[in-house]
């Protein structure tokens, strides 16, 4: 599902469903598109496509949360996790330029993890990770684990699924995400080593600015990455750990041990 107004992106969502679930899924997507905090859309596009091949099965990333005192401290924390993953300072700065920029992108930006250059073929559209879902049993267990942490919401479930797919791409080293929902101030960084690291208060309440950036390894095949993100069907069928709040030292230390 994609919703926009006058061509400006409002919201998007996707899933993998059995044939019997499709009608309900369409209704749910329509309701979501019409009730988004970014406002009423002028256009809603819902497309349904039959998968010809079995999806690739993957695991979720480990989940944890890092707390910070304010948005500036939260951004520093995000930067430190990314730097600890080996992302250059230039690339981190370029990524924050994207997510704090005025224009909401429909898809994600691809940023070179070494030099910080933008790599996506269409910079206005970005790259939209799609064709991903979670199997029912895995969803039920994930829901219980996230509930224990008080974070079992569609936003967290979907963002975790999206990040897990993206980080499964050869050549995607990390992700930075800040929601473009003005009322949603938790963002995250996801990396191969540290998993899905939630960072509350990464932006001020009321700000419509946000977006996603994937950090790309130097020399990686960008065409293949885009193909994987947009077209490769992926099903989350296994779970990793879901932990509560941690400190940066605990997170970085545990990845080193």
In the complex with ligand PML, the residue whose CB is nearer, 106 or 198, is: 198
Select from 59, 70, 155, 247 the one that contacts ligand PML (CB under 6 A).
Answer: 155
When binding is defined by CB under 6 A, the residue of 60, 179, 185, 191 that contacts ligand PML is 179
**Contact between 94 and 176 (Cβ < 8 Å):** no
* Maximum distance among all Cα pairs of the chain, rounded to whole angstroms: 51
Q: Are 243 and 63 in contact (CB under 8 A)?
A: yes
Determine if 194 is a binding residue for ligand PML (CB under 6 A).
Answer: no
32: closest CA among 13, 8, 15?
Answer: 13
| Residue list 198-237, contact with ligand PML (CB under 6 A) | 198
Least gap, CB of 218 to ligand PML (angstroms) = 27
How many C-beta neighbours within 10 Å does residue 250 have?
13
CA distances from 205 to 33, 183, 186 (A): 21, 6, 10
Please tell me whether residue 188 binds ligand PML under the rule CB under 6 A. Answer: yes
**Least distance from C-beta 20 to ligand PML, angstroms?**
27
Q: Using CB under 6 A, which of 108, 142, 156, 173 touches ligand PML?
A: 156
Contacting ligand PML within 8-47 (CB under 6 A): none
* Residue 186 touching ligand PML (CB under 6 A): yes
* Residue 184 binds to ligand PML (criterion: CB under 6 A): yes
Phi/psi at 231 (5° precision):
-120, -25
Residues 159-178 that bind ligand PML (CB under 6 A): 159, 177
Please spell the DSSP secondary structure of 124-164, one letter per residue: TT-B---SEEE-HHHHHHHHHHHHHTT---HHHHHHHHHHH
Q: Given candidates 107, 126, 187, 195, which one binds ligand PML under the rule CB under 6 A?
A: 187
> Under the criterion CB under 6 A, does residue 129 sit at the interface with ligand PML?
no
DSSP notation for 72-97: HHHHHHHHHHHHHTT--HHHHHHHHH
Binding interface with ligand PML (CB under 6 A): 155-156, 159, 177, 179, 181, 184, 186-188, 198
């Amino acid at each position: 599902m994609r919703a926009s107004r006058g061509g400006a992106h409002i919201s998007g969502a996707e899933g993998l469903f059995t044939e019997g679930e499709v009608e309900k899924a369409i209704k749910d997507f329509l309701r979501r598109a019409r009730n988004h905090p970014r406002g009423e859309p002028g256009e809603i596009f819902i497309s349904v496509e039959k998968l010809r091949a079995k999806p690739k099965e993957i695991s979720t990333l480990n989940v944890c949360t890092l707390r910070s005192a304010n948005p500036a401290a939260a951004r520093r924390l995000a930067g430190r996790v990314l730097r600890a993953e080996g992302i250059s300072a230039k690339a981190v700065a370029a990524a924050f330029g994207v997510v704090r920029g005025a224009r909401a992108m429909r898809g994600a930006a691809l940023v070179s993890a070494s030099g910080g250059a933008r790599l996506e073929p269409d910079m206005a559209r970005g790259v939209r990770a799609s064709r991903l879902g979670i199997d029912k049993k895995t969803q039920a267990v994930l829901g219980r684990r996230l509930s224990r942490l008080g974070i079992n919401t569609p936003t967290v479930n979907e963002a975790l699924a999206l990040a897990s797919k993206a980080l499964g791409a050869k050549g995607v080293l990390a992700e930075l995400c800040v929601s473009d929902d003005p009322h949603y101030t938790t963002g995250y960084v996801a990396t191969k080593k540290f998993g899905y690291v939630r960072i509350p208060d990464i932006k001020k309440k009321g700000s419509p600015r946000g977006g996603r950036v994937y950090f790309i390894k130097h020399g990686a095949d960008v065409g293949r990455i885009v193909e994987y993100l947009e077209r490769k069907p992926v099903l989350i069928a296994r779970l990793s750990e879901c932990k509560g709040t941690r400190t940066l030292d605990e997170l970085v230390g545990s990845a080193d041990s």
